[in-house]
Amino acid sequence: MPFVIAVAGKGGTGKTTLAGLIVRALRRAGRTPILAVDADPNTCLDAALGLVPSRSVSDVLDDTKGMRNVPANTPRTVYLEYQLADCLAEGQGVDLINMGRPEGAGCYCAANHLLREHLDRLTGAYPYVVMDNAAGMEHLSRRTTRDVDLLFIVSDASNAGLRAARRIRALVDELNLSVREMHLVINRAERLPAPVEEALRADGLHLAGFVPEDPLVAACELEGRPLVDLPDDAPAVQAVGKILASVQTAGGVRR
């Protein structure tokens, strides 16, 4: 069974940055192979990892909607798995699959059912899975069946970001998601006022740590370089390492 780490947060708070740096930390520690899943319709994880899948899962679903285009004498499961294999971008110690946009008009029930089965088999081949999710957690609730071992909710220090973090925390209960541990990460900041931290704890959000503003991250994004190539002494890299070490000490990440 893989260890599944999911990242969610309001757009613009840096959740994809955190997901990319988590992948970097796991790969650096030799915890490979890793399956990275970009489950945000606004796909950005490919740039963070330097991997570009040729197709998204939603592209396959559109092509196979209703399962009417399956060639004769070809089992539907075999046909869909063949199509989905084309969605996987393979890298050094990490592979990436993009879920793509939500379904459009029409019935996707048959394809989605087979998709869940395929994703179960796919994720089962990796010891670690890192998922970059939209704030609404759509793919966790609709398209995947794996439990989440560790959910990082990402926010910046803004009121809007923190409100979104609270909503995501509430969504976990509303959607009846199976999440073993949940932690809040504040991006592009180094502290919060004590009353704010207390209010977050009251809402059931454990603050795992801060990722400071890092000019090296900004330079990567500006120049189109992947975050996985950041040096070990980059402030954001060190901060994410400390966050993972803290949850590992508490039993949150398997050794």
* pLDDT tens, per residue, the chain with 255 residues: 889 999 998 888 999 999 999 999 999 999 999 999 888 877 789 999 999 888 887 777 776 665 566 676 777 677 777 777 888 999 999 999 988 765 544 444 444 555 666 677 788 889 999 999 876 666 565 545 458 899 999 999 988 889 989 988 888 888 788 889 999 999 999 999 888 988 898 888 999 999 999 999 999 989 999 999 999 999 999 999 999 999 975 555 664
**What is the three-class DSSP state of 121?**
helix
Q: Which amino acid is at 120?
A: D
The pLDDT score that the predictor gives to residue 176 is 82
The DSSP-derived string for 37-61 is EEE-SS--HHHHHT---SS-HHHHH
**Domain residue limits, the chain:** 3-249
**CATH class of residue range 3-249:** alpha beta
**Rama region for 66: left / alpha / beta (φ>0; ψ in -120 to 50; rest):** left
pLDDT value of residue 92:
93
Q: What are phi and psi of 156, to 5 degrees?
A: -95, -170
Beta strands in the chain (DSSP E): 3-9, 34-39, 88-90, 94-98, 128-133, 148-155, 179-187, 207-211
Sequence-separated (6 or more) residues with CB below 8 Å from residue 45 = 16, 19, 20, 36, 38, 96, 98, 132
pLDDT for position 108: 41
What integer pLDDT is reported at residue 145 of this predicted model?
A: 43
